[in-house]
Amino acid sequence: MAVQGNTRDAPPRVAFYNDPVIRGIIYQLVVAALVIAFFAWIILNTAQNLAAQNKSTGFDFLFQTSGFGISFTLIPFDRSSYYWEAFLVGLLNTLLVAAIGIVFATVLGFIIGIARLSSNWLISRMATVYVEVVRNIPLLLQLFFWYFAVLKAMPAVRESLALPLGVFINQRGLYVPKPVPDAQFGWIYLAVALAIAASVAVSIWARRRLEATGQRFPVVLVNLGIFLVVVLLGFVLSGASVAFEMPELQRFNFRGGLELVPEFVALAFGLSIYTAAFIAENVRSGIQAVNRGQTEAAQSLGLREGDRLRLVIVPQAMRVIIPPLTSQYLNLTKNSSLGAAIGYPELVNVFMGTTLNQTGKAIEVIAITMAVYLTLSLSTSAFMNWYNARVALVER
């Protein structure tokens, strides 16, 4: 008689479509196929419609003569310039107003955000009123206010308002002294580059020293001293100099100096004021997110209020401030397209406006413009994420 051993029953086989891993892969393949099919249908449908209208596609229009002028440019541009040069002018104007807006909005936002938490009742309430009023009025309406109600209401050229340091303002814009460097000024640019490199090296050394010994090094003061010394040595050794061309009123307009058109001034000022209100709220919430015990510990060490903010509170608050701050930088850059409403020749106005109307290349122009804003947004996000990782608290 055969004796059967104790055998364990084999587990039942499961159909492949019931395997969660395989099922997830199938779902992703199906979704990817549907997305590809959708975009293929759009492209095919667009090509058929363009062919039916006898319209050609391509980017050869960029090398055709534009035939129009631009009121405010950072590079030479006239009616004989090409469309790609018009695109470059619009891009540079957008980058200029975005960069200036980010700097001023950040400085003003931090000041207002800290002022909202001030123990002084008047300062705190004034900062609160600023935030609540500015952020609840549409940006476009604010741009109209600064452009039409403020700058366009300025006196005529002959009655220009004289401001300190040789600055004049009238209906046609803001006139400021223009720096004119001499031929030896290239050495100063080299000195600035060397000073920046030295400052970065000192900052890296100070951070490693702090991590190794716990001893803090006055990085800001030392870097400032390095910058001033290196630049001054550059001026002394190279003999470089810079003169200032002052604006002077002639018969019908100012000559000399640097003219800032009212459209640029209104857009830069409006973007800075508006975005600063949101940054102030980010700063306020970031500071309030820091544990109260940190402030009490700093007080017990005898630190003054300014030192407590600079050395203890704000460095810890940055991990909360930076993520929404990144969003505000992106919003400011994209909101610069509203400059088209007041006639500022930024990218949307010059390229999606005039260039699109003259060439009829809607798909190409819109695709290029979308790619530019996408690149700017991704670049800003990448830099801010890198900076956020640098200042993030490391738990030990």
> How do residues 47-80 score in pLDDT, each as one tens digit?
777 777 777 777 888 999 998 989 888 899 999 9
Q: Which amino acid is at 72?
A: F
Place of tokens 């199906």: 30
Q: How confident is the model at residue 146 (pLDDT cuts 50, 70, 90)?
A: very high
HEC profile for the chain? CCCCCCCCCCCCCCCHHHCHHHHHHHHHHHHHHHHHHHHHHHHHHHHHHHHHCCCCCCCHHHHCECCCCCCCCCCCCCCCCEHHHHHHHHHHHHHHHHHHHHHHHHHHHHHHHHHHCCCCHHHHHHHHHHHHHHCCCCHHHHHHHHHHHHHCCCCCHHHCEEEHHHEEEECCEEEECEEEECHHHHHHHHHHHHHHHHHHHHHHHHHHHHHHHCCCCCHHHHHHHHHHHHHHHHHHHHCCCEEEECCEECCCCEECCEEECHHHHHHHHHHHHHHHHHHHHHHHHHHHCCCHHHHHHHHHCCCCHHHHHHHHHHHHHHHHHHHHHHHHHHHHHHHHHHHHHHCCCCHHHHHHHHHHHHHCCHHHHHHHHHHHHHHHHHHHHHHHHHHHHHHCCCCC
Count the residues in the chain.
396
Residue 16 reports pLDDT greater than 70:
no
- Taking Cα atoms as reference points, which of 72, 260, 46 lies closest to residue 170? 260
- Domains of the chain and CATH, by start: 83-155+262-391 (1.10.3720.10)
- In whole angstroms, how large is the CA radius of gyration of the chain? 29
pLDDT of residue 14: 63
Q: How confident is the model at residue 302 (pLDDT cuts 50, 70, 90)?
A: confident
Tokens of 222: 């030392």
Place of tokens 């209208």: 53
Q: How confident is the model at residue 393 (pLDDT cuts 50, 70, 90)?
A: low
What percent of the chain clears pLDDT 70, i.e. is strictly above it?
94
Q: Flag the least confident range among 36-40, 176-180, 298-302, 387-391.
A: 298-302
pLDDT of residue 43: 79
Q: How confident is the model at residue 107 (pLDDT cuts 50, 70, 90)?
A: very high
Residue 120 reports pLDDT greater than 60:
yes
Rounded alpha-carbon distances, angstroms, from residue 383 to 101, 104, 239, 291: 17, 19, 37, 28
Tell me the mean pLDDT in the region 70-93.
92
Residue 116 reports pLDDT greater than 80:
yes
pLDDT of residue 342: 92
Residue 7 reports pLDDT greater than 80:
no
Tell me the mean pLDDT in the region 191-208.
88
Bridge partners of residue 176, in order along the sequence = 258
The C-alpha angle with vertex 119 and arms to 113 and 120, in degrees rounded to 5, equals: 95
Whole-structure pTM value = 0.81
The whole-chain average pLDDT of the chain stands at: 86
Residue 214 reports pLDDT greater than 80:
no
Q: How confident is the model at residue 186 (pLDDT cuts 50, 70, 90)?
A: confident
pLDDT of residue 231: 86
Cα 290 → chain centroid: 27
Tell me the mean pLDDT in the region 151-160.
87
Q: How confident is the model at residue 12 (pLDDT cuts 50, 70, 90)?
A: low
Tell me the mean pLDDT in the region 129-155.
93
The C-alpha angle with vertex 381 and arms to 62 and 396, in degrees rounded to 5, equals: 160
Rounded alpha-carbon distances, angstroms, from residue 122 to 45, 107, 118, 134, 215: 63, 21, 9, 18, 39
pLDDT of residue 1: 47
> How many CB atoms lie under 10 A from the CB of residue 18?
8
pLDDT of residue 333: 94
What percent of the chain clears pLDDT 90, i.e. is strictly above it?
40
Q: Cα(315)–Cα(382) distance, rounded to whole angstroms? A: 21
Who has greater pLDDT, 107 or 21? 107
pLDDT in tens, 217-272: 788 788 888 888 888 888 888 888 888 888 888 877 888 888 889 999 999 999 99
Tell me the mean pLDDT in the region 372-389.
91
Most confident listed range (13-17, 22-26, 91-95): 91-95
244 backbone dihedrals φ, ψ, rounded to 5°:
-115, 125
